[in-house]
Every structure is written in C-alpha cells, then in structure tokens.
Structure 1
Amino acid sequence: MKTGFKLLIVLPDGRIHRLKLGAWRRSFREAPLTATTLAALVPPELNVDITLADESVDRVPFERKFDLVAISCITGAATRGYEIADYFRAQGATVVLGGVHVTLLPDEAAQHADAIVVGFAEQTWPQLLRDYANNSLQRTYRSDAMQLENLPHPRRDLQKSFRYNVPNTVFATRGCKGTCDFCAVPAAKFGWHQRPIPDVIGEIKAIKSRRIAFNDVNLTEDPDYAKEFLTALIPLKKRWGGLASSRIRQDDELLDLMAKSGCQFILIGFESLNNRSLASMHKAFNKVEDYRELVGKLHDRSIVIQGCFIFGLDEDDRTVFEQTVDLVNNLSIDIPRYAIYTPFPGTPSFQRLQAEHRLLHYCWEYYDTQHVVFQPAQMTPQELDNGFKWAFKETFRLGSSFHRTKRAGRNFPIAFIGNLAYKLYIRRLYGEEHRFPEKIEH
C-alpha cells in the first residue's frame, strides 16, 4: 500500500473570479468548504501530504510534482478544471474530477480524468484514496446515500484564511427541496439532508472567530430544524450570514431567532418582479406583492439583505432593467445582485432551450451567470448584456447605495461597504471582454 503520497486539491475558477485575472476581490469572499472537507476526509493511516489551491485566492502550483490531483468543478469553472486536469495528467499525476458539473456530465468529465466522483464525496472519497493507495483505483465512484453524522471538521488549517473576508464557513444542511428550473442543485439529484444539530454546534464552538457564514442553499428550508438549531446557536454569540428563501416572511418566530442568534446578513433569491416568471421557474412561492413586507421585517431586525434578481427570463423585455432597479431602490434592498439567466447543463431550463434551438454555444466558461449564452425571447443577446451592465451601474451609484442601506440599522456599515465592493467589482468586470460566439446550428 502506498503511503505518504502528495495530494493536490484544486478548486478551479472562471476568469471573472480567478486570482489576479478576475474582477471579484476579497470583499465578499467566503471560504469554500469543498477542499477543506476533502482534506479532512483523508484517512489518517495514509499519511498524505496535502496541498490546497483555491483559484479565487491562490494560484495552482503547476511547477510542483504531485502523485494525485483532485479537482472539483462547477460549470463555469469546468473548462479551466479540464485544462488543469490535462496538464497534471501529462506530468504523470493521477487525476480525479468531481463536483456539480461532473455529476451532471460524467461522461464528458471522464475524458479528462483517471477517476470521477459522482454525487457527494463524504462516502466515496476515503474509499477512493484507499483504492489509489492499493493500486486498485476505479473509474467511477458514485454516492447513492448521504451520512452526515460525525463528520470530521474541515481542515481550515490548510487554507489561506487571511485571503478570505469570512474564512470560517459552516454547513448545517445539504441540498435543496426546491425544483427551480435553472438550478443545478436539484438537477444533480443531491436530495436534502440535515446534520445533527449537536455536530454543527460542536464545530462552531471550535471556531475562535465570532464571524461565520453558512453555505447552506437554504438554512431555513425546514423551519422546525432551523428554530432548534438557531436556539442552540444563541449562547455562542456568533455573528453570521447565510441564505434563506422568501418563506421566512411568514414566520416571525423564525425571524426573531435569526436576529437573536446573530444574523447580520441574509441572501434571498427574489429572482423576478413578474409573478408569471416566478411560476415558470417553479418558484411560485415568491410573490412580488410580498417583497415589501419581507424586506421590512428583516430591516426591523437590522438584518442586511442581499437580494438576487435574474435578467433574461422569457417574460422579460427591455423594460425589465429599469423596473428592477426602481424596485430595489424603492424597497431599500441593501445589496442587490443581478445575474443573467443561465441554463446549466442537466437542468430543465437547459433541456428546454436546447429543444427550442436557443442555446448559443456550449463554452462552459461563459456559463457563469455573467454572460449571455442563449437567445432571449424578447430581446437580443446584446440588449440583455447591455441592460445587465446598465442595471449594475445604475444601482450602485453612491446616492442610491446610501438611500438603500440607511435602513440596515446597526449593520449599516456591512451594507454600505458591500455596495462599495460591488461598485469596484463592476468597474473591473467592464474591463473584461464580453464575447458572443456565433450560434451553433443544431
């Protein structure tokens, strides 16, 4: 059995977000959990020499020799991930690919790897490493079950924590119960799973910093679980941010517990100001007429809101950009975040647009929610891109930013600094070349 081998775990990133090349900087970076979790799951008896490389804050050490290279890809970083995989295979390393994109397109990924991991890695990764050590590596490792009890704490000691705004990220739940047509999480059939609350609290207690972030797709998916968890979190006196759905508007007890447990910041996918669009994307529980009440309840508790909106839905015409900017300003959504509708492979939106011959290309590096990759229904690709840029510029004018964030209460500094960070991001983003490849004939 091989022991003491050199392992490199890579989180590739697209050009917009990559260190030095990208437009995104430290201001909003939260440490990802993938690499540190994989490192924690390495069987100790193998005595592995582990190196982590998150391309959003670090460079891949191409000049070094590694025995085994593991790469986890989302769709927007898949092309880069394949480039890295091909390089290290050419250098003689064994390469493993995993992540959401690999789960959605395993046959494609297998062309660039010696082994692939489909689904969550908690159950398969340790066995893969033992197989590698015993020279019996399989081509595919597939996780059909999820066990979240007694997980080892992520190896945060291996990450460059100083490069993240929030270096301590935690998760309490995995997956999502939703069926949003554009989202890769339900398309990957990850299901939805809860960690035992004592396990999560134990991990948080071990974190010395007061500031943490939850990377759950929806921390409040199960209100009963969320209430029990947040109640247990209160004595720890942490300050936290995370993601939730608009359904929290209906539950004042849950909102109170969020505030009491230290919630400073919450991201909510409002997505659209058109109820028909919301219904078509299977997110009908969002109601435009309820947005004001939701924002008010969060501001009453001094919780900063990052509100996400999508441009390019079939109901959207060229008026949607101005209407959306007016809405976020009128509602005082502290930190608006805009995205271009992106049909990730394997999702219902991808299948529909492909069947309608509306996909412009399959260059995954542009499937990053910042580029137009399909033919919109009521505008041209260029009009969608121009409107997207205009909305960002208009939204983050200093006067507009101050107007929106003044309702954030004691967390006003978080909200206003967040706006300044986005303003800087926009300036850098517009320095990137937005290309529109020719439509591929089907």
Structure 2
Amino acid sequence: MKITLISPKGPLYRVRGGIFKRSLRYQPLTLPTLAALVPADMNAEITLIDEGITPIPETIDADLIGMTVITGTARRAYELAVRFRSQGHTVVLGGPHVTLVPEEAARHADAICIGYAEDSWPALLRDWAADHLQPVYRQAPDFSLNRLDVPHARRDLFDSRQFLTQAVFEATRSCAHACEFCVAPTAWGRQQYQKPVDWVIEDIRRVGQKRILFVDLNLISDRNYARELFTRLIPLNVQWFGLSTVLLALDAELLELVARSGCRGLLLGLETVTPESLGDAGKRFNGAVHFKDFIADLHRLGIAVQGCFVFGLEHDTPDVFDATVEFAIDAGVDLPRFAVLTPFPGTPLYRRLDASGRILSRDWDLYDGQHVVFQPYNMSVRELAEGHERAWKATYRWSAIARRLWRARNFRPLALTANFGYRFYAHNLHRFYTCDWPMQPLPSLSTDKKAVSSVVFQPPKSSARTQRTVCG
C-alpha cells in the first residue's frame, strides 16, 4: 500500500522556496503528524510532498493521496484532485478549509475529513483498505489530545536539509478567544485541547535540538498548563520561540517563568494601533496592555518580538499605515509583519461582510492575508492595497531595520537574517501579489458609508484584455 500526503501551495509559494528561500522555512508539522497516524499494521509506504519545497509530479505512484487544505490553497488542491482522480487514485481532503466549507470540498474528493484527524484519519484508512470508504469522516465527539498513546510526528520522512529546522512542536490546539477574523473558533471551537506535558517533553527529547519552535496558537491560554510546561522546559536548556497573546503582560510571574524556560522570541497579535479597531477584531483585551511597555519588558528579558498587524478594520482610515510603521519603529519591534484583513469563509467576519454585500471576490487564491477581497469601510480598495504595501516597504528600509533593531538591542544573526528576508519580500510585493481587475462587486451592496462607485478599483486603461495590478 502506497500513501502520498501533499501540502499544496498557493501561487506565491508554488515556486521553489517561494519568496522566503529554503533557509527561512521551518518544517511543517501537519504531514508528519498524519504520517504517524497511519496504522502500523497497514505496512504503508508513505511519501510526503510540500509543494513549497518540491514540485508535484504529473503522476504519482500511490494508491491513496491525501491533501491538507487552507483557504489560500483550495483552488490548487481541487485542481490536483481532478488530475489524480482522473488517473485512478483515491483522493482525500482535510484541513481548515475543508472543515469550514465541507460541502464545497466534498465535490472534489472521494472522501473528506472534518475537524482534527487523530481518530478519523486512521478510521478512514481502515475503511478504504476494506473497500468501505465513506464520503465524510468527522472529528470524534469525545476528541481529546490528553493521552500518551498518540504517536510522535514522522519528521524523518522529510529531508532535514530543506528546512531551517525540524524542531517544530505542538503542545496545545485552538484558542479560548473569539476574534472575529480567526478561523480557529469557527473550525474547532473555543475549547483548547492539550497534550500531556510528559508527551511534549518526550517529543522534544526525541528530536534532541536546543533551538525549538512551538506552533500553538496561544501557549499561555491555560495558565496552569503553561506553568507546568515552562517549568519542565527549564532543565532541558532549550531556546524556544512561540505564540502568545499580549495578556502575558498582565502576569509578571508567568512572564518571568517564560524567560527562564528559554523563550527567545514571541509572535504577538498586536493587530492594530487604532484603539477603536480592537473591538472590530474582537480583541478588546489587547486594550488592557500598553504595547510599548510590554515590548520593552520582553526585550529586557532577552525575548524578541514578531509583531503582527492587520489593516482594513472598520475604524481604520488611510492614516493607519504610517501610524503603524511609526509605532513598529519606535517600539523596536524586531520583526513586524502586516496582513490585510481577510474574511475566511465561515468566520463571523465573512458572514457579516457577506450579509452587507461587501465581499468582492470568492477566488480562494486571493485569501492569503495579502490581497483585498472585500470593500473596506473607511477607505477604498486601492487605498488599502497600496497602504499595506507602503507599510511593508517603509518598515523594511535599511534605516528602519537599523532603528528597530537598535531599539531592541537585537543584532543576533537570526534577527538580521529574518529582517533581510522580509525586506526582500516587502520590495517584491508587486511581483508576487497580483489580482485581476476590474473586480466586480457581488450583488446587494449595502449603503454602509462608501458609495457603490468606490467599491471597484479601476486601474489605468490598458490594451491588455485583463488588467493586472498590485493588490497588496
């Protein structure tokens, strides 16, 4: 039995290594985890393909092909599914997009997996081997990660030389918060699932590296669990990087423990410098934290900050871009990152914008956090697209990089390398992020503040049949 697991990529990352060359990529955890869940008694030969690293061949020697799908890669996954099914392969789709819009995904596959796959994926494989494959497999109602019998990811199935690191770990899943634009609460609910700390520590020991990455959405969501995990990390003498909300600023004891456990970098969803926009994002709790003071505290403890900001919230006006750039530089954010607000299908944001007729495109290729696919409230589509690109370029000028890292007192090689990579990205947006214009608004646009005429960005006239221009 031969099984091939594929992570398709959107247009940006389909080229070899994407914008960020191989040296800045970390190994994805989804495919190695799915490989580990294949029942051992099936004696399957398993192949993993990450399209951001390896081109997908026209034909694949496999009996079953499984693909994990996010919204930005959905169209590519469907294209591949058509090809492989026509060649006689059984095709299974899973992942966030499939969980969000299962009816759509089911039209392109022999079977789909909805929700987390620890139980449903092995069941699917056994049914397939017995020639009783069902069209839909769902996450078990009593799903839990709090068990020691879950196998560890098959990292060995990827070539370690293709990634910055294979030391990628997961302790928890989902998040207790309900941010309007976030996929997690819609797809998997607000319950956080936790792996036993013993299991996590054993996974880290097995890999044996001293610099590790946690991909959990919010490592501090459960304070007691976080305390146990961080305390157990101390004797391992590792340096780790992960994600957290800014609520960590309100717990000085936990913050000190984070530093003592070896944390050297945190990704923080700062989202916006416009206070009124925090309510738009469903992150009013961010307003309880003074961002600059928190970033200064993290730097004092030797923790670098990747600050993530989103543009296009309801209270954002055209001056938000320059204000955000100024904040990122003045606060010494080690690695700022910007995204365009994206209404992923099924989320409360999508439902709200769809109800008011403000969704401008359902081309999933554009749902990558860098394209404008909806009508903003306080600016035009063009203003949002161009302001987003301007913020990237201004933040990653040589002088801006120097000022930020000087304030952060961070000239470590990893920080420099990451900034140089993001600088390349910022100054090549016009090459990688394009969309077809004119973009036609969908029917029933509401009278929300912007006139219908402002919904469509009409570019300069061109003799080309379809005008292509920068869209973020």
Structures share fold, TM-score greater than 0.5:
yes
Summarize the alignment of residues 44-63 of structure 1 with structure 2, pairs less than 5 Å apart. 44-63=40-59
Summarize the alignment of residues 21-170 of structure 1 with structure 2, pairs less than 5 Å apart. 22-143=18-139, 144-148=141-145, 149-150=147-148, 151-170=150-169
Name 1:238's counterpart in structure 2. Answer: 238
Name 2:327's counterpart in structure 1. Answer: 327
Following superposition, the deviation at residue 417 of structure 1 comes to 2.1
How far, CA to CA, are the matches of 1:286 and 1:25 in structure 2? 33
Deviation string 1:100-136 (CA, Å, 9 cap, x unpaired) is: 0000100000000000000000011111111111001
How far, CA to CA, are the matches of 1:41 and 1:289 in structure 2? 41
- Kindly provide the amino acid, as one letter, of the partner of residue 72 in structure 1: T
Per the alignment, in what secondary structure is the counterpart of residue 31 of structure 1?
A: coil
Following superposition, the deviation at residue 362 of structure 1 comes to 0.4
- Kindly provide the amino acid, as one letter, of the partner of residue 178 in structure 1: H
Deviation string 1:310-331 (CA, Å, 9 cap, x unpaired) is: 0111111111100110111111
Identify which range, 401-410 or 242-251, moves more after superposition.
401-410
Per the alignment, in what secondary structure is the counterpart of residue 287 of structure 1?
A: helix
Following superposition, the deviation at residue 293 of structure 1 comes to 1.4
**Cα contact 1:317–1:379 (8 A) shared by 2:** yes
**Cα contact 1:23–1:429 (8 A) shared by 2:** no
Identify which range, 55-64 or 386-395, moves more after superposition.
55-64
**Cα contact 1:7–1:51 (8 A) shared by 2:** yes
Summarize the alignment of residues 199-348 of structure 1 with structure 2, pairs less than 5 Å apart. 199-287=199-287, 290-348=290-348
How far, CA to CA, are the matches of 1:238 and 1:42 in structure 2? 30
How far, CA to CA, are the matches of 2:353 and 2:21 in structure 1? 33
**Cα contact 1:175–1:185 (8 A) shared by 2:** yes
The 1:288/1:379 distance shift into structure 2, 3 A limit, reads farther
**Cα contact 2:334–2:410 (8 A) shared by 1:** no
**Cα contact 2:280–2:313 (8 A) shared by 1:** no
RMSD, aligned CA: 1.5
Following superposition, the deviation at residue 407 of structure 1 comes to 4.0
Following superposition, the deviation at residue 186 of structure 1 comes to 0.5
Per the alignment, in what secondary structure is the counterpart of residue 66 of structure 1?
A: coil
- Kindly provide the amino acid, as one letter, of the partner of residue 158 in structure 1: L
Following superposition, the deviation at residue 35 of structure 1 comes to 0.3
Q: Percent identity?
A: 43
How far, CA to CA, are the matches of 2:69 and 2:20 in structure 1? 18
Name 2:443's counterpart in structure 1. Answer: 441
Following superposition, the deviation at residue 289 of structure 1 comes to 5.9
How far, CA to CA, are the matches of 1:263 and 1:158 in structure 2? 28
**Cα contact 1:118–1:141 (8 A) shared by 2:** yes
Deviation string 1:237-296 (CA, Å, 9 cap, x unpaired) is: 111111000001011222222222211111000001122211122101102861011101
**Cα contact 1:16–1:24 (8 A) shared by 2:** no
Following superposition, the deviation at residue 228 of structure 1 comes to 1.0
How far, CA to CA, are the matches of 2:174 and 2:98 in structure 1? 16
Deviation string 1:347-390 (CA, Å, 9 cap, x unpaired) is: 00000000110111100110000100001111111111110110
- Kindly provide the amino acid, as one letter, of the partner of residue 145 in structure 1: D
How far, CA to CA, are the matches of 1:160 and 1:142 in structure 2? 31
Following superposition, the deviation at residue 22 of structure 1 comes to 3.2
Identify which range, 314-323 or 23-32, moves more after superposition.
23-32
Identify which range, 124-133 or 421-430, moves more after superposition.
421-430
**Cα contact 1:406–1:412 (8 A) shared by 2:** no
How far, CA to CA, are the matches of 2:372 and 2:95 in structure 1? 23
Name 2:405's counterpart in structure 1. Answer: 405
Q: In the alignment, is residue 175 of structure 1 matched against residue 174 of structure 2?
A: yes
- The structure with higher relative contact order (CA 8 Å, sep 6+) is 1
Name 2:376's counterpart in structure 1. Answer: 376
The runs of at least 4 consecutive aligned structure 1 residues that moved more than 4 Å come to: none
The 1:82/1:418 distance shift into structure 2, 3 A limit, reads same
How far, CA to CA, are the matches of 1:164 and 1:21 in structure 2? 10
How far, CA to CA, are the matches of 1:314 and 1:416 in structure 2? 34
Per the alignment, in what secondary structure is the counterpart of residue 213 of structure 1?
A: strand
Per the alignment, in what secondary structure is the counterpart of residue 243 of structure 2?
A: strand
Per the alignment, in what secondary structure is the counterpart of residue 188 of structure 2?
A: coil
**Cα contact 2:170–2:216 (8 A) shared by 1:** yes
The 1:358/1:27 distance shift into structure 2, 3 A limit, reads farther
Following superposition, the deviation at residue 7 of structure 1 comes to 0.6
**Cα contact 1:303–1:411 (8 A) shared by 2:** no
Per the alignment, in what secondary structure is the counterpart of residue 206 of structure 1?
A: helix
**Cα contact 2:12–2:433 (8 A) shared by 1:** no
- Kindly provide the amino acid, as one letter, of the partner of residue 160 in structure 2: S
Deviation string 1:130-153 (CA, Å, 9 cap, x unpaired) is: 111100111100013322112111
Per the alignment, in what secondary structure is the counterpart of residue 285 of structure 1?
A: helix
- Kindly provide the amino acid, as one letter, of the partner of residue 440 in structure 1: L
How far, CA to CA, are the matches of 2:202 and 2:239 in structure 1? 16
- Kindly provide the amino acid, as one letter, of the partner of residue 172 in structure 1: A
The 1:172/1:358 distance shift into structure 2, 3 A limit, reads same
- Kindly provide the amino acid, as one letter, of the partner of residue 64 in structure 2: L
The 1:332/1:83 distance shift into structure 2, 3 A limit, reads same
Identify which range, 216-225 or 279-288, moves more after superposition.
279-288
